[in-house]
Amino acid sequence: MIKTDALIIGAGPTGLFTAHQLKLIGLNCEVVDNLDKIGGQCIELYPDKPIYDIPAVPECTGEELTNNLINQLKPFDIKFHLSERVDEVKKNNNSWEVKTNKGTEFSTPNIIIAGGVGSFEPRKFGPKDCEKYENKSIFYSIKDKSIFKDKTVSIFGGGDSALDWAIELSKDSKVNLVHRRDEFRGAQSTEGAMKNLVKNGKINLFTKYQLRNVNGKDNLESIDIEHDDKEIKNIKTDYVLGFFGLIMQLGPIANWGLNIDKKTISVDTEKFETSQKGIYAVGDICTYPGKLKLILSGFHEGALAARACFKLARPNEKYRFEFTTTSSNLLKRLGKKE
């Protein structure tokens, strides 16, 4: 069980700056994020899109903003638990016991939810029967590609993941690539490589088709795909892969007894505390009268929530407000002073 002054859920910009504020005032913290990298929506949804409304930063991309925030955390030692999702939160006297889907356990007086719109999960196929075969014959990510050797694999999607896997698996498997339109989003060179393999008969390409049905008993046997003009084709296949990007799901947060309305959590505007003492929500996931879903608002909310954490983490000490320009305490923590 890891003991920490505060646990931050979400490594997006708000979570990162909240970690900065906690460390600056002398608290320790750890960060959990379901993605395999730091940056949240900034890195997953718009790494290349410029942002123009970060104070004092006239223009920066999601990736640049993330890198700057990571740099700002350099003076501090913060443990990140990536590719982990917080599943359970339980009260134990004055602290919260938190467990992730990988079994990591934390004990902390303070939980700061900086979860954006929830955790990123793969977008799944529409037809209901797909669930039956999920993780058996239908996958949304690949952990072990050897299972596809000498099998028929039908890949859905038009981005880099779909193209890369179609190309890779065509070496040892029979590959069908299915996409809802003629244009692809992947890198041009990748698209070119895929089209060459189509020409050489290594990949069967079906465009303007979408998955309509999956057929089989215990094992998946075939799929029906439907063309824009309603024509239906039946394809024999052993495996189906879907690469439709990620969606955001509130997930287990919904079960923690917080006031949730339309995927957001109500907080007060002094501590950004939820209806549970010691659980705070900051950034896009919190709501209060006048809430703006801006990154700058998340920074403000995180700074205040961090001060609120101090009271619960150090009940016998008094928090004193200090400036980084003048406080030798803060400068020491920042590594600028011996």
Nearer to other proteins, 22 or 285 (CB): 285
Residue 265 and residue 273: Cα distance in Å, rounded?
10
From 12-20, 193-201, 244-252, 270-278, span contacting other proteins (CB under 8 A): 244-252
**HEC profile for 50-85?**
EECCECCECCEEHHHHHHHHHHHCCCCCCEEEECCC
- Binding-site size, other proteins (CB under 8 A): 25
Nearest distance, CB of residue 46 and other proteins, angstroms: 6
- In the stretch 78-117, what mask flags binding to other proteins with x, by CB under 8 A? ---------------------------------------x
Best CA proximity match to 215, nearest among 137, 281, 121: 137
DSSP tag of 244: -
The DSSP output letter for 251 is G
Indicate whether 123 belongs to the interface with other proteins (CB under 8 A): yes
Nearer to other proteins, 105 or 228 (CB): 228
- C-alpha 150/C-alpha 143 separation (Å) is 17
The Cβ of residue 236 has, within 10 Å, a number of other Cβ atoms equal to: 13
CB of residue 202 vs other proteins: minimum separation in angstroms?
A: 23
Residue type, 174: K
> 39 with 93: CB under 8 angstroms?
no
Under the binding rule (CB under 8 A), the answer on residue 291 touching other proteins is no
Binding positions for other proteins, 168-187, rule CB under 8 A: 179-181, 183, 185
Q: Is 233 in the site for other proteins (CB under 8 A)?
A: no
Residue 233 pairs with which residues in a beta bridge? 225
Q: How far is the CB of 239 from other proteins (least distance, A)?
A: 21
Q: Which of 138, 131, 177, 135 is nearest to 154 (CA)?
A: 177
Q: Which is nearer to other proteins, 6 or 282 (CB)?
A: 282
Q: Is 248 in the site for other proteins (CB under 8 A)?
A: yes
Q: Which of 128/143 has CB closer to other proteins?
A: 128
Contact 253, 232 (CB under 8 A): no
Provide the β-strand partners of residue 122.
246
Structure tokens at 224: 């029906």
Footprint on residues 207-226 left by other proteins (CB under 8 A):
210
* 4-63 residues near other proteins, rule: CB under 8 A: 41, 45-46, 49
Query: Would you count residue 245 as binding other proteins (CB under 8 A)?
Result: yes
Residues of the shown chain interacting with other proteins in the complex, contacts defined by CB under 8 A:
41, 45-46, 49, 117, 123, 126, 157-159, 179-181, 183, 185, 210, 228, 244-245, 247-249, 263, 284, 293
